[in-house]
């Protein structure tokens, strides 16, 4: 995963450490994760956006190795993989990949098509149990890529008002 820090100080790598510490030894990872979001949303608008707009996505997952060559797949580059591979027949989903066996949640991006998660990041093939995230509009993702000129979490663009409906 590339190191990325937003203007608010939200850092995807630091988030991985913090959320994983919260989930260790939890009886219900989903419940512990939702409580974690509440504790972090005051400090970071990115987490608040995920908490407000996110939902559990426990659909079937297709791993990078099982996708055709039209999808980009670089290890540890989920934002790049998802943002450069999505199209009109897929939705860009950003939030967290939840590992039940490792008791960890990783800030993550993937694609979704017909309620099937397309896991484009080879380093996560077959290791994620479920996803929690926000589906972003095709136009918004394209706009953010053009505006920012690089692949990084789209949530920051949403919280700074880059999208017309960011407050909805």
Secondary structure element (H or E) that encloses residue 84, with its range: helix 78-85
Instruction: Give the highest mean pLDDT range of 11-20, 67-76, 77-86, 152-161.
Output: 77-86
Nearest partner of 82 among 9, 152, 24, 13, judged by Cα: 152
Can you give the pLDDT at residue 135? 93
Query: Cα–Cα distance between 7 and 61 in angstroms, integer?
Result: 32
pTM of the predicted model, to two decimals? 0.80
pLDDT value of position 16: 67
Give the pair of three-digit tokens for residue 56. 């559990």
pLDDT at 2 over 50: no
Residue that wins the pLDDT comparison between 31 and 103: 31
């Amino acid at each position: 995963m590339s190191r990325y820090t937003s203007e608010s100080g939200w850092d995807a790598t630091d988030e991985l450490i913090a959320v994983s510490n919260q989930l260790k030894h939890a009886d219900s990872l989903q419940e512990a994760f939702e409580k974690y979001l509440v504790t972090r949303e005051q400090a970071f608008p990115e987490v608040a956006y995920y908490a407000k707009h996110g939902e559990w996505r426990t659909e079937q997952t297709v791993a990078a190795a099982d996708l055709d060559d039209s999808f980009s797949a670089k290890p540890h580059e989920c934002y790049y993989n998802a943002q450069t591979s999505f199209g009109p027949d897929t939705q860009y989903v950003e939030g967290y990949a939840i590992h039940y066996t490792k008791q960890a949640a990783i800030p993550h991006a993937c694609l979704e098509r017909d309620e099937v998660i397309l896991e484009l990041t080879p380093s996560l093939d077959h290791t994620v149990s479920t996803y929690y995230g926000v589906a972003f509009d095709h136009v918004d993702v394209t706009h953010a890529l053009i505006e920012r000129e690089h692949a990084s979490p789209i949530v920051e663009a949403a919280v700074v008002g880059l999208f017309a409906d960011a407050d909805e």
